[in-house]
Amino acid sequence: MNQPSSVAEANPLRAYLPRTVAPEPCAVVLFGATGDLTHRKLAPALMRLAVEGQMPSEYAIVGFARRDWDDQQFRSELHNTLKDAKIPDFDQTWPTFAEHVLFCPGTFDDPQAYARLKQILERADQSLGTRGNRLYYLAVAPDFFPTIVEHLGQAGLIYPHHQDAPWSRVVVEKPFGHDLASARQLNRELSRVLSESQTYRIDHYLGKETVQNILALRFANAIFEPIWNRRHVDGVQITVAEEVGMPGGRGAYYDSAGALRDMVQNHMMQLLCLVAMEPPVNLSADAVRNEKVKVLQALPRWTTEQVLANVVKGQYGPGSIQGKPLAGYRQEKGVAPDSKTDTFVALRFTLETWRWAGVPFFLRTGKRLPKRATEIAIQFKKPPTFHFEPDDASLAGANHLVLRIQPNEGASLAFQAKVPGSRRRLQEVRMEFRYGNAFASPPPEAYERLLLDVMLGDPTLFTRIDEVDSAWQFITPILEAWQETRLEPAFYEAGTWGPPEADQLIARDGMRWRRL
Ligand code: BG6
């Protein structure tokens, strides 16, 4: 087979697209190639990278799955998915991209399938120039992680990293364990074959441009750092609200996970780290992660009583969003009719560090809330005296810095301005940064950035094992307290902002949840 020309060459837009350091040639092996994640996120991200000229000059994409398909069948499956993925110049670029796509049929526990994979990869080294470098992406249920990694090891498909020798890296999707003990067990199993530097635990929130921007805002500007502490901050609210319920038969997975494991242990802990961490000594992977892990280590390790006082567990009942009637969680497909699973969680805690001691952090996340909105709000202290008439007496001059992660990506600083006229009446006004206005292009998809980083061997935006461990040390006592007390969730109507208990939680500190 002739070496295919690059997809980027076929793309007239390439000259306008940003270029980064090119990754080395490699083969990307997708375990779970016929699954939802591959279709929704991974395949579109890989093709976009190719169209943007950011894939290596030589690459292969090898699907691994149970179906008895050949390369052509896998290509036509991907074609069906990608044609609707709004990829620029799709018709023009697809034929070249398709030449890089291969398929390996097999089950995850069959040694022969790995022998077949090895042959396919070695052939790709010859025909597509992938030079022995391998990225294995485990887009499969976590139960399969140890099996796949062990077989890859036995088949000689994982090799220790040596300078200038071919590399092999494994991307592991969440959830990484379902509590502290299982996360440690999983890590022990994986580390029999993989070193930490070969293990890329993905948290797609870290790939979001607006999440990375938190570091830029905090550490590339001198005005925020002096006030980013207990002397000036009254409280921090982090909200990850979702309108969706249980789409596409997700109920069965979710019912064994719940919001605390699905969103708080990973995505929300990462947001917390970036907001609360100390400045890193540089932006290298370990310097950044060293500071993040200290935040997680400063989280409380709660007793059962403390859990019950500081965490609200909620579950949606029937309701409606924008006039559309919606089923309650217990009526969703795959969900037990008497399920106690949390579809909403609100937490209040403090970080006992010199920077943050005493400052309450409030986290809330939920399914079937009125809208999709992720934001971090820093509420600054009120002025020591106040001689004006605020439009909202409860805030009376508190400034807010809001980082909007999604949608309407950007940031705003709310402050008081005098309403024109003879009275001393005030109104809250905002200074706005909107991503869409400030930069010509919308933020790229998180998976594009993260896949590129694995190919480049940059683990900065991936979760290190001590981060996972420390996050579970905080989360596990909550799960255990719920289990021990057989805690029933507090119900909220689908389409509302969670149960009243969440409002009571924040009201204890004289605050209230932001209206989004
Ligand atoms: C996933 C969770 O990790 O993140 C889902 O499993 C959730 O339940 C999703 O819907 C949210 O991601 P995003 O990027 O849409 O905010």
List pLDDT tens digits, range 173-216: 999 999 999 999 999 999 999 999 999 999 999 999 999 999 99
Count H helices and E strands in the chain, helices first.
Answer: 17, 17
**Could you tell me the distance, in angstroms and rounded to a whole number, from the CA of residue 240 to the centre of ligand 1?**
9
Q: Whose CA is nearest to atom 9 of ligand 1?
A: 263
**pLDDT at residue 444 in the model:** 80
Residue 109 has pLDDT above 70, yes or no: yes
pLDDT value of residue 395: 56
Percent of the chain with pLDDT over 90: 83
Cis omega (within 30 of 0) for bond into 142? no
Q: Which residue type sits at 407? A: P
Closest among 186, 167, 64 to 158, alpha carbons compared: 167
Task: Compute the distance between CA of residue 270 and CA of residue 206 in angstroms, rounded to an integer.
Answer: 7
pLDDT at 240: 98
Kindly report the average pLDDT of the chain as a whole number. 92
pLDDT (mean) for 41-63: 95
Q: 392: pLDDT confidence band, cut at 50, 70 and 90?
A: low
Beta bridge partners of 29: 62, 136
* Minimum-distance ligand 1 atom for the alpha carbon of 267: 3
Q: Count of alpha carbons within 13 Å of 320, Cβ hemisphere only?
A: 4
Residue range 455-466: average pLDDT? 96
Query: Is the CB–ligand 1 distance for residue 77 below 6 Å?
Result: no
Tens of pLDDT, residues 204-237: 999 999 999 999 999 999 999 999 999 999 999 9
Q: Are 401 and 434 in contact (CB under 8 A)?
A: no
- Residue 394: pLDDT band (50, 70, 90) is low
**Which stretch of 162-166, 333-337, 418-422, 462-466 has the lowest confidence by average pLDDT?**
162-166
Q: What is the DSSP letter of 207?
A: G
336 C-alpha vs ligand 1 centroid, how far in Å?
A: 22
How far does the centroid of ligand 1 lie from the alpha carbon of residue 262, in Å?
Answer: 8
**CA separation for the pair 377, 411 (Å, rounded):** 10
Question: In which band, very low, low, confident or very high, does the pLDDT at 166 lie, cut at 50, 70 and 90?
Answer: very high
The pair of structure tokens assigned to 288 is 């950044």
Share of the chain above pLDDT 70, in %: 95
Predicted pLDDT of residue 396: 62
Radius of gyration of the chain (CA): 24
- Report d(CA 364, CA 344) in Å as an integer: 7
Place 27 in a pLDDT band, splitting at 50, 70 and 90: very high
Q: Tell me the pTM.
A: 0.93
Q: Given a cut of 80, is residue 67 above it in pLDDT?
A: yes
What is the reported pLDDT for 145?
97
Residue with the nearest Cα to atom 6 of ligand 1? 262
* pLDDT tier, 146 (very low <50, low <70, confident <90, very high otherwise): very high
Phi, psi for 37 (deg, rounded to 5):
-65, -40
Report yes or no: 304 and 489 within 8 Å, Cβ to Cβ.
no
Asked if the bond preceding 175 is cis, omega within 30° of 0, the reply is yes
Using the predicted structure, report yes or no on whether residue 17 has a pLDDT greater than 70: no
Residue 453 above 70 pLDDT?
A: yes
- pLDDT (0 to 100) of residue 22: 85
Distance between CA 224 and CA 221 in Å, rounded? 7
pLDDT at 304 over 80: yes
Annotated catalytic, 79? Answer: no
pLDDT at 5: 41
pLDDT at 32 over 60: yes
Whether the bond between 18 and the residue before it is cis, its omega within 30 degrees of 0, is no
Q: Is the pLDDT of residue 20 over 70?
A: no
Q: Is the CB of 242 under 6 A from ligand 1?
A: yes
242, 260, 345, 448, best to mutate for ligand 1 pocket (most atoms within 8 Å of CB): 242
